[in-house]
């Protein structure tokens, strides 16, 4: 009887898990993780370190967790590599899948996207691939940027693929097209959009829904745009590149936030943040408000209980932590804490990972103040602390370039 029950539990666990898409920055690419009963305070040295692994291939990607495995990307020689670990941090397999960026900061940045038993990845030079999540066998690969005359920023590409229905979505930019859709099973081209004649950004697209109408939203170097996932038709574009201080750069990096017909986009380097109103039919946008304080470098933002939280950019190695009202853009606080960095949220708190010295803070998600409950410094890894944290089954995963650490944060 016990054996029968165990088989049923495993079967239903696998079946239900397989229905979800495991994505960059968690559910809906929001950075907000549906985890509860987490520690409300950490010890002086931080939560318990369950395990760690060092000397993995270097990269800035986050981890994706599915199929009782942990997936991340790294760079080996001139290739981006997908790495699979077991739940104790032991390497199961690794597979090269595309050409790495060949300029500065060439370490991998793509966080794997997982659906059922398939893992979808892109490389720094715009090669995309589908890989079997169990065996590591390459199912298909496409030189997506090269084949569609794509363009590159000064640091290559950093996109995490978006899966929509039967399609894998990628944004090569350039003069031939802006965004393309491939059959997620075969890698065959399904559609390509018209060209906005613009370079791609370092941003990963977002799938939203407005009155039961789905829309893909992404950002190029200069435009925020909306695309029909069925056909690739670009319904609207907004000139985001104009929303900046004089001399500021258009290095867009952050996935937009969306809720109830409003789209929020932010970028660093003295760029302004904007809130757009999406029309009822999703076929046009208008400007709701502009903010000049929260210009997020590449650490992302979260929306919690009507407020936007993130860190702004003073220069490449410094910034403050900011809270804005979602509806009005009004600044709720603008406070210093060590340095700017990445942010996620779970169980009513913020998890802030500053990029300079690797301190992680547990912060109350309140617009009243930036209140650090607990903090600790991660002990392993080299280089900038640019990977975004991930929470899964009450475990906090922190990557630092060539090291990965798993912390127990269950209450």
CA distances for 306 relative to 147, 227, 314, 330, 341, angstroms? 42, 26, 25, 12, 21
Is the per-residue pLDDT at 7 higher than 80? no
Output the pLDDT for position 137. Answer: 98
Using one digit for the tens of pLDDT, what is the confidence trace for 331-359?
999 999 999 999 999 999 999 999 999 99
pLDDT above 70 covers a percentage of the chain that reads 95
Contacting residues for 105 by C-beta, under 8 A, at least 6 apart: 155
Output the pLDDT for position 316. Answer: 85
Task: Give residue for tokens 């990557």.
Answer: 399
Using one digit for the tens of pLDDT, what is the confidence trace for 143-199?
999 999 999 999 999 999 999 999 999 999 999 999 999 999 999 999 999 999 999
Output the pLDDT for position 328. Answer: 98
Output the pLDDT for position 2. Answer: 35
Helix, coil or strand: residue 68: coil
d(CA 124, CA 226): 24
- Name the residue among 193, 256, 200, 265 with its Cα closest to residue 227: 193
d(CA 293, CA 363): 20
Contacting residues for 183 by C-beta, under 8 A, at least 6 apart: 166, 167, 168, 189, 190
Output the pLDDT for position 350. Answer: 98
* Residue 173 and residue 151 in contact, taking contact as beta carbons nearer than 8 Å: yes
Q: Give the length of the chain.
A: 411
For residue 84, give both structure tokens.
């699979």
Is the per-residue pLDDT at 31 higher than 50? yes
**What average pLDDT does the segment 362-376 reach?**
98
d(CA 304, CA 352): 14
* Residue 225 and residue 236 in contact, taking contact as beta carbons nearer than 8 Å: yes
Task: Give residue for tokens 């979800």.
Answer: 20
Is the per-residue pLDDT at 297 higher than 70? yes
**What average pLDDT does the segment 21-31 reach?**
97
Q: How confident is the model at residue 3 (pLDDT cuts 50, 70, 90)?
A: very low
- Name the residue among 180, 234, 174, 224 with its Cα closest to residue 200: 174
Q: What is the mean pLDDT of the chain?
A: 94
How is the beta sheet containing 403-408 ordered, strand by strand?
A: 48-54, 403-408, 395-400, 390-392
Output the pLDDT for position 11. Answer: 41
- CA 182, 187, 188, 194 torsion-angle sign: positive
User: Phi, psi at residue 299, to the nearest 5°?
Assistant: -95, 0
> Considering the entire predicted model, what is its pTM?
0.94
Output the pLDDT for position 20. Answer: 85
* Residue 105 and residue 202 in contact, taking contact as beta carbons nearer than 8 Å: no
Using one digit for the tens of pLDDT, what is the confidence trace for 190-230?
999 999 999 999 999 999 999 999 999 999 999 999 999 99
Q: How confident is the model at residue 1 (pLDDT cuts 50, 70, 90)?
A: very low
Using one digit for the tens of pLDDT, what is the confidence trace for 315-327?
988 999 999 999 9
Helix, coil or strand: residue 131: strand
Q: What single string gives the DSSP state of each residue in 371-383?
A: -EEEEEE-----S
d(CA 385, CA 93): 25
d(CA 321, CA 85): 33
**What average pLDDT does the segment 225-238 reach?**
98
**What average pLDDT does the segment 218-243 reach?**
97
Output the pLDDT for position 16. Answer: 38
**What average pLDDT does the segment 42-51 reach?**
97
Output the pLDDT for position 394. Answer: 98
For residue 47, give both structure tokens.
């939560």
Is the per-residue pLDDT at 17 higher than 70? no
For residue 13, give both structure tokens.
């666990």
Is the per-residue pLDDT at 4 higher than 50? no
* Residue 312 and residue 293 in contact, taking contact as beta carbons nearer than 8 Å: yes
How remote is the C-alpha of 320 from its chain's centroid?
Answer: 21
**What average pLDDT does the segment 236-257 reach?**
94
Task: Give residue for tokens 């520690």.
Answer: 39
């Amino acid at each position: 009887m016990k054996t029968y029950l165990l088989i049923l539990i495993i079967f239903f666990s696998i079946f239900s898990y397989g229905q979800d898409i495991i994505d960059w920055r968690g559910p809906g690419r929001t950075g907000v993780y549906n985890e509860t009963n987490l520690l409300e305070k950490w010890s002086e040295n931080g939560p318990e370190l369950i395990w760690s692994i060092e000397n993995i291939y270097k990269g800035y990607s986050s981890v994706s967790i599915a199929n009782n495995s942990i997936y991340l990307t790294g760079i080996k020689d001139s290739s981006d590599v997908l790495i699979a670990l077991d739940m104790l941090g032991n390497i199961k397999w690794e597979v090269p899948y595309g050409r790495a960026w060949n300029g500065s900061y060439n370490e991998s940045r793509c966080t794997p996207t997982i659906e059922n038993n398939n893992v979808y990845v892109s490389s720094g030079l715009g090669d995309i691939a589908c890989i079997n999540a169990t065996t590591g066998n390459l199912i298909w690969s496409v030189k997506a940027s090269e084949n569609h005359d794509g363009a590159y920023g000064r640091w290559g590409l950093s996109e995490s693929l978006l899966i929509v229905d039967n399609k894998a979505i990628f944004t090569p930019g350039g003069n031939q097209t802006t965004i393309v859709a491939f059959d997620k099973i075969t890698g065959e081209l399904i559609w390509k959009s018209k060209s906005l004649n613009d370079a791609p950004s370092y941003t990963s697209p977002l799938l939203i829904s407005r009155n039961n109408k789905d829309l893909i939203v992404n950002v190029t170097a200069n435009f925020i745009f909306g695309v029909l996932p069925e056909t690739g038709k670009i319904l609207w574009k907004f000139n985001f590149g104009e929303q900046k201080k004089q001399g500021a750069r258009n290095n867009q990096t952050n996935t937009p936030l969306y809720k109830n017909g409003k789209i929020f986009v932010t970028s660093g380097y003295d760029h302004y943040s904007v809130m757009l109103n999406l029309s009822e039919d999703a076929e046009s946008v208008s400007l709701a408000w502009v903010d000049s304080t929260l210009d997020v470098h590449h650490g992302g933002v979260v929306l919690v209980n009507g407020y936007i939280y993130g860190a702004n950019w003073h220069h490449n190695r410094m910034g403050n932590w900011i809270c804005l009202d979602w509806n009005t853009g009004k600044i709720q606080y603008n406070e210093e804490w060590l340095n700017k960095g990445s942010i996620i949220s779970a169980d009513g708190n913020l998890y802030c990972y500053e990029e300079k010295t690797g301190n992680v803070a547990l912060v109350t998600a309140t617009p009243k103040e930036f209140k650090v409950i607990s903090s600790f410094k991660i002990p392993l890894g080299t280089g900038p602390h640019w990977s975004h944290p991930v929470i899964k089954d009450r475990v906090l995963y922190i990557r630092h370039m060539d090291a990965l650490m798993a912390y127990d944060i269950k209450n």
